[in-house]
Amino acid sequence: MKAYVEGDTLEDIPVDVEALDELREEFFANGFVLIRNALPTGQVERLLGAVDHVHRNFHDHPHRNPNPQGFNMRPVIDKHPAFRELLITPTTFPAVVRFLDHFSIQLLQSHLFEADPTTNDNGRGTGWHNDGGEPALEVNGIRAFGSLKVGYFLRDRLADDMGSLMVVPGSHRSQGPPAWVGDDADPAGAIQLKAHAGDAVVFHQGTWHAAAPNYANDTRILLYYGYGYRVFRPIDYHSFDEAFLSTASPVERQLLGETVNHQGYYVPTIEDTPLKTWYEHHFGAPSNRGNLTRLR
């Protein structure tokens, strides 16, 4: 298989269906997977430069969320070319598509989320929750699967209590919140993810997660890119303007939320979802949406 090099297009991304299907099993068993070395060092450096750029230039921007925990902005994809590059990341995008297992998907959010160091005993920045907005869509009390998130680590988080993402493995498969024992701060089975800068985590929206307190000396910096089915709404944007979209390929325009036909989010044609060609080339027809294809 040919290696992907910068500047290549979606068609050049290596896709190992067998490996992706193994990863997909792990994803649905545990509610998350780690993808090591998702970003090369040079790209992590460019992204850290982009983070500095938004600190300097977007300090008072309305997309900055007031947050005592640390700098917090969304969307970021339109704030710097390095953030834009992550839309189709060769090491994670095939997994995103395979896990969602459909071509009618798009970016739902792009989020720079920092957690400053703290000395506070209750220093956790983000409490325990699963994702999905209001109302929470559930099936028999279990969070329905409509989206996932890729989290890119821009700094090493190799020990406990450095502000990393915490998850309760398997919690996306249970009804309601995970169980807490006594006064424990975290639910039973919770783990703190250990990652190097450039590693990525992909997690199911139903997986219960939180941020660990950050007792390290430096700020933890994570970038979260959420993707989901186009029958749902994006979380942190409505649409991007033509100036931003004009450099995007047809597939990128889909991922950035564009439709061509007025029912395009719901009954997609090939013009609405050019990703379909790539999807079907690698994975065949979607297995679980038979009626939709018969409608056309």
Ligand X SMILES: O=C(O)CCC(=O)C(=O)O
Contact residues: ligand X, CB under 6 A: 113, 115, 125-126, 131, 149, 165, 209, 211, 222, 224
Q: Is 185 helix (H, G, I), strand (E, B) or coil?
A: coil
| Contact region with Fe ion (CB under 5 A), list: 40-48, 68-76, 129-137, 260-268 | 129-137
- Closest approach, Cβ 43 to Fe ion, in A, equals 24
199 makes contact with Fe ion (CB under 5 A): no
CA distance 133 to 130: 9
Q: What is the DSSP string of 246-289?
A: TTS-HHHHHHTT--SSTTTTTS--TTT-THHHHHHHHH-S-TT-
Which of ligand X, Fe ion, none has residue 113 at its interface (CB below 5 to 8 Å by kind)?
ligand X
Shorter beta-carbon distance to Fe ion: residue 131 or 272: 131
Which of Fe ion, ligand X, none has residue 123 at its interface (CB below 5 to 8 Å by kind)?
none
Q: Measured between alpha carbons, how far is residue 211 from residues 13, 14, 121, 222 in Å?
A: 32, 33, 14, 11
| Helix boundaries (H) for 58-205 | 81-84, 93-100
* Residues 31, 173 contacting (CB under 8 angstroms): yes
Which residues, other chains included, contact 48 with Cβ-Cβ below 8 Å and sequence gap of 6+? Answer: 154, 221
Conformation bin of residue 31: beta by default, left when phi > 0, alpha when psi is -120 to 50:
left
- Closest approach, Cβ 134 to ligand X, in A, equals 15
Which of ligand X, Fe ion, none has residue 165 at its interface (CB below 5 to 8 Å by kind)?
ligand X
Shorter beta-carbon distance to Fe ion: residue 209 or 230: 209
Which of ligand X, Fe ion, none has residue 211 at its interface (CB below 5 to 8 Å by kind)?
ligand X
Shorter beta-carbon distance to ligand X: residue 74 or 102: 74
* Residues 14, 91 contacting (CB under 8 angstroms): no
Which of ligand X, Fe ion, none has residue 221 at its interface (CB below 5 to 8 Å by kind)?
none
| Helix boundaries (H) for 31-179 | 41-57, 81-84, 93-100
| Contact region with Fe ion (CB under 5 A), list: 130-138, 152-160, 242-250, 286-294 | 130-138
Shorter beta-carbon distance to Fe ion: residue 131 or 252: 131
**Whether residue 75 has a cis bond before it, omega within 30° of 0:** yes
Shorter beta-carbon distance to ligand X: residue 15 or 165: 165
Shorter beta-carbon distance to ligand X: residue 110 or 273: 110
Conformation bin of residue 62: beta by default, left when phi > 0, alpha when psi is -120 to 50:
alpha
131 makes contact with Fe ion (CB under 5 A): yes
Shorter beta-carbon distance to ligand X: residue 116 or 258: 116
| Contact region with Fe ion (CB under 5 A), list: 94-102, 128-136, 156-164, 233-241 | 128-136
How many C-beta atoms lie closer than 10 Å to residue 244's C-beta?
Answer: 13
Q: Which of residues 13-72 bind Fe ion (CB under 5 A)?
A: none
- Closest approach, Cβ 165 to Fe ion, in A, equals 9
CA distance 96 to 283: 13
Shorter beta-carbon distance to ligand X: residue 99 or 283: 99
Token match 């999905």: residue? 132
114 makes contact with Fe ion (CB under 5 A): no
Q: Which of residues 153-172 bind Fe ion (CB under 5 A)?
A: none
Q: Which residues bind Fe ion (CB under 5 A)?
A: 131
